[in-house]
Structure formats: C-alpha cells, structure tokens
Amino acid sequence: DTGVSQDPRHKITKRGQNVTFRCDPISEHNRLYWYRQTLGQGPEFLTYFQNEAQLEKSRLLSDRFSAERPKGSFSTLEIQRTEQGDSAMYLCASSLGRGELLRYTFGSGTRLTVV
Amino acid sequence: DAKTTQPTSMDCAEGRAANLPCNHSTISGNEYVYWYRQIHSQGPQYIIHGLKNNETNEMASLIITEDRKSSTLILPHATLRDTAVYYCIVSRETSGSRLTFGEGTQLTVNP
C-alpha cells in the first residue's frame, strides 16, 4: 500500500492559464474523490468516480473544471482559464467502494496559487 | 446527512487524554459517526468510526451516547503530533454517500 499520490505538490500559475493535476489512488480502490480546500475551511467535495464513471459533480465544479479517470486508474483534474479564486489546496482521496464506504485515504494535496 | 456541531478549538497538555466532543442531535438510525483529522499541510486522515457501540483502535476511542445524539473522540495520551483539526462527520453508508466536512475542532497539544 503506497498510499494516494498527488502531483505536483505545488503549482503557481498566471491567471488565465490552464493547469492539470494528477492523482494516483491506491490500486485496489475503485472509488476516487476530488475535494478543494481553502484556508481555514474544511475540504469541499468536487466530484467522484466509481472506476472510470464520473458519478457526481458538485455545483462548485464550474464549466472550467473537468475531471477524468481513464481506465479506472489514475485521475486528472484540469482547470481552464484559471482565476485567482481557484487558489486552494486540491485533495484527492480513494476508497474501496464497498464495505466501509466512507473510509477514505487522502493524498497530500496539490496547492494551487493563481497570481 | 445529519448536521454536526463541534467546538472551534481546544487545548490539551501533552501526555493527558484529549476528549473531543461532537453533537449530532438529528442523527438517524442508519447514520454512522466518522472522525478524521488533518495535520497542517497534509490531507485528512481517517481515525475511527462507529454506529451504536463504542469503538477503539490503535489511534483512539469513540464513545457514542446511548441516544446517539452526541459522541466523544478520545486520544488517550496526546502527543505534540496530535495537534490537528479534527472533523466529526455523520453520514449513511449508501452507495451515493460521500464525506461532507464541516470546520472541525482545532486541537492544540501543549508541551
């Protein structure tokens, strides 16, 4: 069990640029979640996948955000035309998807700063 | 999912037990109580969960009142590394469920 890996750990980008984050979940986990966290707040749900199917998207996920999980393995979260309000920690988590459904393993996150 | 209420912050002396309360007075019969913590600049970490009975693992104990309207997370011998934000989350374990975080309790363990 190597845990959930996220890449990069930090990203600084100029307003208007596109950014893409990657998440590698625990291999036997079929559920993958993306959350966003701003300073002083708890993580906010963005979207989740069961295998390769994206089952739910939050209203927080504007049209500029897109997430994929090809082949049900790693996932990418892309933000197009970044805005300063997108600055946050982006967290990925995975779970088995059966049994203890809410027992997630989180990655260390990608901190995005839009300047 | 039922709403939870936690104190904003708590302090604890190193080596003493840390008792973190959570109120969930609107909890329904099939909702679980989950606890996670988040150490600064890291992702949240699962601690423990329970439905009705008290639970214990290598990290902590979870005490759920008989009416299930509140619970307490107990760290028996707090260390400086237990300084973190602790989240109490109540939710059903159905296929469509996912974790909804509040603002949690900032626990500071002092030397």
Q: Across the 111 residues of chain B, what is the mean pLDDT of every consecutive 10-residue run?
A: 92 97 94 96 95 95 96 97 97 84 96 95
Q: Look at residue A50 in the predicted model and tell me its pLDDT.
A: 92
Read off the pLDDT of residues B33-60 as tens digits, 9 standing for 90 and up. Answer: 999 999 998 999 999 999 998 999 999 9
Structural Rg of chain A based on CA atoms: 13
Residue that is written with structure tokens 């049900």 in the block = A72
Instruction: Pick the closest to residue A48 from B39, B37, B104, B95 (CA basis).
Output: B95
Three-state DSSP class for residue A84: helix
Structural contact between residues B111 and B80, judged by C-beta atoms closer than 8 angstroms? yes
The whole-angstrom separation of Cα B8 and Cα B106 is 6
AA letter at B2: A
Instruction: Pick the closest to residue B64 from B106, B100, B32 (CA basis).
Output: B32
Inspect the interface and report whether the beta carbons of B42 and A105 lie closer than 8 Å: no
Read off the pLDDT of residues A70-95 as tens digits, 9 standing for 90 and up. Answer: 988 999 999 999 999 999 999 999 99
Distance from CA of A10 to the nearest CA of B (A): 11
Distance from CA of A22 to the nearest CA of B (A): 15
Q: Look at residue A1 in the predicted model and tell me its pLDDT.
A: 53
Inspect the interface and report whether the beta carbons of B43 and A45 lie closer than 8 Å: no
**A55 touches B: beta carbon within 8 Å:** yes
Nearest CA in chain B to A55: B96
Q: What is the token pair recorded at A45? A: 């749900």
Residue A3: how many other CB atoms lie within 10 Å: 14
Distance from CA of A101 to the nearest CA of B (A): 6
Backbone CA torsion sign across A14, A91, B97, A51: positive
Residues of B in contact with A48 (CB under 8 A): 98
Residues of A in contact with B96 (CB under 8 A): 55-56
Residue A39: how many other CB atoms lie within 10 Å: 7
Size of interface A-B (CB pairs under 8 A): 60
Instruction: Pick the closest to residue A29 from A74, A68, A70, A86 (CA basis).
Output: A74
Cα B99 → chain centroid:
13
Residues of B in contact with A44 (CB under 8 A): 101
